Amino acid sequence: MCARHKSLHPIGAPCPRCTTPPRRHKSKNTRRPGAYDYQWQKVRAEAIKLQPYCLFCGTDRDLTGDHIVPLKEGGTNTLDNVRVLCRSCNTRRENDYRKGKRY
């Protein structure tokens, strides 16, 4: 996704509307088949479009998609397995998840 234009394009490909080069370092999750690919970008963008606010705190800034059932536990990149969280709530949820708390 191009940060300047907020437009989707395949990971690793340059933005067709600008000369912003692609990210040099891929996420560690992009190596797994079906992880965070172009399909994930489309699903995440659609979820944010349907719900333009954080599910936990209600803010409308710095929104991300969060898997309800994580991919490593058999979750999928489908709209019914994605919820919209702001970056800080998503990070807090991930830290709690690693400590054994689930929500």
Chain segment 39-74, per-residue pLDDT in tens: 888 999 999 999 999 999 999 999 999 888 888 888
CA distance 11 to 33: 13
**Percent of the chain, pLDDT > 90?**
28
Residue 32 lies in a domain: no
Residue 86 lies in a domain: yes
Residue 6 lies in a domain: no
pLDDT bin (cut points 50, 70, 90) of residue 34 is low
Residue 12 lies in a domain: no
Instruction: Supply the mean pLDDT for the chain.
Output: 77
List of long-range contacts for 8-12, beta carbons under 8 Å, 24+ apart: 8/38, 8/41, 8/42, 8/45, 9/38, 10/37, 10/38, 11/36, 11/37, 11/38, 11/41
Residue ranges making up the domain that contains 80: 39-98
Could you tell me the pTM of the whole model?
0.60
Tokens linked to 95: 């830290």
The count of structural domains within the chain is: 1
Residue 68 lies in a domain: yes
Of 37, 36, 41, 40, give the one whose Cα is nearest residue 6: 41
Q: What is the pLDDT of residue 45?
A: 93
Q: What is the pLDDT of residue 5?
A: 65
Residue 64 lies in a domain: yes
- Give the CATH number of the domain where residue 92 resides: 1.10.30.50
Residue 8 lies in a domain: no
